A and B are shown apart, each in its own frame.
Chain A
């Protein structure tokens, strides 16, 4: 069996400003909702700032999902990681209890993880004469705290890694998990990321304030807006999952990340590379889940790349960050999740926030939900530092 098709996504778990679970996520996207749930970042007692709008989470709803035996004394990042992992298992119709713990691994993409705890612990220990560093909160300053807590909560004793690569990190985590499964060392990998916008960022966000809600690929786009969210994908070998005919299996046909001197080149090479690895032509692609987040330069680079690579057989294009905000670590996984969910129903969402497509872009971006024929989907994401990633999803 060739490697490109031997690993599949079998479950999707999402907590977003649309709600808890894959169904509200898909429903919200299909309805083209934008701008729900503002969260006030100015509530931090340490880092005062004017009210900053982000796509906030209904965190209490996530808490309601957690089993009673779950970890205590942990932060929201750990709780959300466990929640979306459980949601992915529910979506997959499995609890993995048939597997030995050492055969289950976790790969996490992180970005702001631990930043707020770092800032507050430093403030308490070094700046506040009456402050004290908490031994309970101390471990949370690490980037890998989320993965560590998830491993404990899920009793996953296989590989456990945290990868930092900005908006492309989710694809790096996917590649890591895919390699682990292809190698036969594990039987299931949970690929996960959590973004909880830290309050310490509020002064920085003030200076970068863009259009709210963001308008991916829109002629009046004026920058991204951060969002809270978390996503987990369950990966298994396709042959294992397919033994149960009730399981839904979406093969990962390719996953690439590219670094280039120019972002447009990186996006172009990532798209071409993923098609090549998947042995696909542009005509095989029914939908493109783009990373467009309302950035003037980033959206331009990606749109140009998409038109270069996919112009001959343009697919339906959707940019979900118009509806959920920009998730630095988890965004690419959410795009992949949206791709999986959409290809199950063969229905591609619109791009929330898009009113008027930038006339410079020679691409067709969905302004309403469309039906597509069965085929492959491509996920495109990019990071402002000149990195890009792309994933081709089955059939």
Chain B
């Protein structure tokens, strides 16, 4: 089959986040600079260095661990498919696929299984959840009747962008006519313990690129995009929210948890994404940073942005970090940030980076601080970096 070049468009979006379980509520809160971090309520955080996180309030109290993320993924995917009117357009189910990114998937179900007597049994629901890492994307696909390409991408915290790229590639190569792509994750005690062991958690708030940043806070949620080839969307007169211009996946190959201090891998990822899109750095109007609020990540990312985009400080490409509001939603993070990029392009407004009081001179970027910034934009870059050196950069256009 010859390689085809098709324009990939977004025709539907959906989110489940600490700042809202619908796109409108989420976006309204984001533009207001709402704080999504609270004291953690679902976990015994005694002994941990941090007691804050961005939890989604009132999950079904009857739902066991591992189930939350699955339900949110389904919720976001359902929103996106409905937004795109995908199921009403008569698409062949074998050409409708699903790809989701995640860090822990439904594995948190193991935690209750370990602590419950007889929990590690073959035939209980919890075992099915923690034993099968592909469960969520398959469950979502079957609920939607999607029998096309199906995969879970586990590129750590870059998972959401990796799923978007996977879906776009499936469309370009003709494996599918439409894909539902995104990411999901729930806060788990194991993740809290691991990040705590790295001393990477803040007990304050998340301050990306701020001089006084103290680390990240875990978050949770899900987001999904319905994507198609432009000609197919046009043929069925689907409203187009935006375009996926290009993407790139590279490996830092430096350290299993720490980014390259000069941001070499991140810079390479951004440059390759630009090349994939066929555009120059000067064409980018906005950067949605990975911006976790850790010393190392923010510094490395800032250096990478400076290396690629040249001019630094105010007046250069405006940068914002959504994790200041919703924490680090792990595999869902870049999917949620992708939705924010598309909405920012649609509305011509960049959401703020909250809690940014004092610029770190080593992160000399034009950070959109404290309040939204109206801006006519055509292209936005979304960065996502994960453990294992995973780097996935995606470009969106209005």
Quick one: given A122-B111, A160-B250, A260-B147, are A385 and B138 in contact (CB under 8 Å)? yes
A110 within 8 Å of B by Cβ?
Answer: yes
- Quick one: given A158-B251, A160-B251, A164-B152, are A204 and B121 in contact (CB under 8 Å)? yes
A157-B134 contact, Cβ under 8 Å, with A144-B156, A172-B151, A204-B121: no
Q: Among A119, A144, A157, A176, which residue has its beta carbon within 8 angstroms of that of B110?
A: A119
Besides A102-B250, A163-B151, 14 other A-B contacts (C-beta < 8 A): A110-B154, A141-B190, A141-B191, A143-B103, A148-B256, A151-B253, A163-B154, A169-B134, A169-B151, A179-B173, A204-B121, A207-B123, A258-B147, A385-B132
CA distance A139 to B387 in the complex (A): 7
Closest to B98 in A: A259
A344: Cβ under 8 A from any B Cβ: no
A369 to B320, alpha carbons, bound, how many Å?
63
Task: Mark A133-144 against chain B: 1 for CB-CB distance below 8 A, else 0.
Answer: 111001101111
B88 interface contact, C-beta 8 A: no
Among the stretches B192-200, B217-225, B337-345, B367-375, the one at the interface with A is: B192-200
A164-B253 in contact (CB<8A): no
Known A110-B154, A144-B156, A149-B388; judge A259-B147 contact (CB<8 A): yes
A117-150 to B contact mask, C-beta < 8 Å, 1/0: 0110111011100000111001101111101110
Docked pose: A125 CA to B312 CA in angstroms: 43
User: In chain B between 337 and 394, which residues have their CB closer than 8 angstroms to a CB of chain A?
Assistant: 386-390
Q: Out of A110, A133, A203, A208, which one reaches B197, CB within 8 Å?
A: A133
Within 8 A of A (CB), among B79-105: 94, 103-105
Q: How far is the CA of A185 from the CA of B271 in the complex (A)?
A: 13
Give every chain A residue within 8 A of B105 (Cβ-Cβ).
143, 164
B193's partner among A126, A143, A200 (CB-CB below 8 A) is A126
Quick check: A164 and B256 within 8 Å, CB to CB?
no
Complex interface: chain B residues within 8 A of A176 (CB): 166
Q: Is the CB of A135 within 8 A of B250?
A: no
Give the docked Cα–Cα distance between A162 and B162 (Å): 10
A157 touches B252 (CB 8 A): yes
Please state if A160 and B196 are interface contacts (CB–CB under 8 Å): no
Contact with A along B96-122 (1 / 0, CB 8 A): 000000011101001100110000111
What is the chain A residue whose CB lies nearest that of B276?
A185
Cβ–Cβ < 8 Å partners of A111 in chain B: 133
How close is A271's CB to chain B, nearest CB, in angstroms? 15
Specify the chain B residue showing the minimal Cβ separation from A178: B173
Is A164's CB under 8 angstroms from B151's CB? yes
- In contact, A135 and B133 (Cβ under 8 angstroms): no
- Contact status B387-A144, CB under 8 Å: yes
Within 8 A of B (CB), among A70-117: 101-102, 105-106, 110-111, 115
> Is B132 touching A159 in the complex (CB atoms < 8 A)?
no
CB distance from A169 to the nearest CB of B (A): 7
A4 within 8 A of B: yes
Interface string of B133-172 (1 = CB under 8 A from A): 1100010010000011111111110000010001001000
Q: Name the residue among A111, A123, A156, A164 with the largest chain B CB count within 10 angstroms.
A: A164
A58 to B59: give the CA distance in the assembly, Å: 46
CB pair A142–B169 under 8 Å, yes or no, is: no
Contact of B150 among A159, A165, A207 (CB under 8 A): A165
Q: Is the CB of B3 within 8 A of A160?
A: no
Question: Is the beta-carbon distance between A148 and B388 smaller than 8 angstroms?
Answer: yes
Q: Do B389 and A148 have beta carbons less than 8 Å apart?
A: yes
- Cβ-based interface call for A39 (8 A): no
Once the chains bind, are B194 and A138 in contact (CB under 8 Å)?
yes
* Contact of A144 with B390 in the complex, beta carbons under 8 Å: yes
Chain A residues near B130: list those with CB within 8 A: 115
Output the least CB separation between A70 and chain B (Å): 14
Q: Please, could you name 7 A-B residue pairs with CB atoms under 8 Å apart, sorted by A?
A: A123-B114, A157-B252, A159-B251, A160-B251, A164-B154, A182-B3, A207-B122
Chain A minimum-CB-distance residue to B256 = A139
Q: Which residues of A contact B110 (CB under 8 A)?
A: 115, 118-119, 122, 200
Task: Identify which of residues 173-231 in chain B touch chain A, using a CB-to-CB cut-off of 8 Å.
Answer: 173, 189-191, 193-198
Instruction: Determine if B390 and A160 form an interchain contact, defined as CB atoms under 8 angstroms apart.
Output: yes
Interface size for A (C-beta < 8 A) is 69
Task: Give per-residue flags for A331-375: 1 if the beta carbon is below 8 A from chain B beta carbons, else 0.
Answer: 000000000000000000000000000000000000000000000
Known contacts A151-B253, A161-B249: does B2 contact A185 (CB below 8 Å)? Answer: no
The reply to whether A118 and B190 form a contact with Cβ atoms under 8 Å apart is yes
B251 to chain A, nearest CB (A): 4
B262 to chain A, nearest CB (A): 14
A11 interfacial by beta-carbon distance below 8 Å: no
> How long is the Cα–Cα vector from A159 to B162 in the complex, in angstroms?
11
* 3 A-B pairs closest in CB distance: A148-B388, A143-B154, A160-B251
Question: Is A52 an interface position by the 8 A CB rule?
Answer: no
A290-326 contacts to B (CB < 8 Å) = none
State whether the Cβ of A248 lies closer than 8 Å to any Cβ in chain B: no
Specify which chain B residues have a CB less than 8 angstroms from the CB of A144 in the assembled complex.
Answer: 154-156, 386-388, 390
Residues on A with C-beta less than 8 A from B104 are 118, 141
Bound form: Cα–Cα A8–B130 in Å: 35
Q: Is B127 an interface residue (CB 8 A)?
A: yes
Task: Assess whether B328 is interfacial by the CB under 8 Å rule.
Answer: no
Query: Knowing A138-B197, A164-B134 touch, does A151 contact B251 (C-beta < 8 A)?
Result: yes
Known pairs A125-B190, A163-B154, A164-B152; A133 contacts B196 (CB<8 A): yes
Checking A122, A142, A157, A159 against B387 with a beta-carbon cut-off of 8 angstroms, the contacting residue is: A142
CB-based nearest A residue for B260: A157
Note all chain B residues with C-beta closer than 8 A to A67.
Answer: none
- What distance in Å separates the Cβ of A174 from its nearest Cβ neighbour in chain B? 12
The answer to whether B197 touches A142 (Cβ under 8 A) is no
Q: Are A157 and B265 in contact (CB under 8 A)?
A: yes
Given known pairs A161-B162, A203-B120, A277-B1, the reply for A156 and B107 (CB within 8 Å) is no
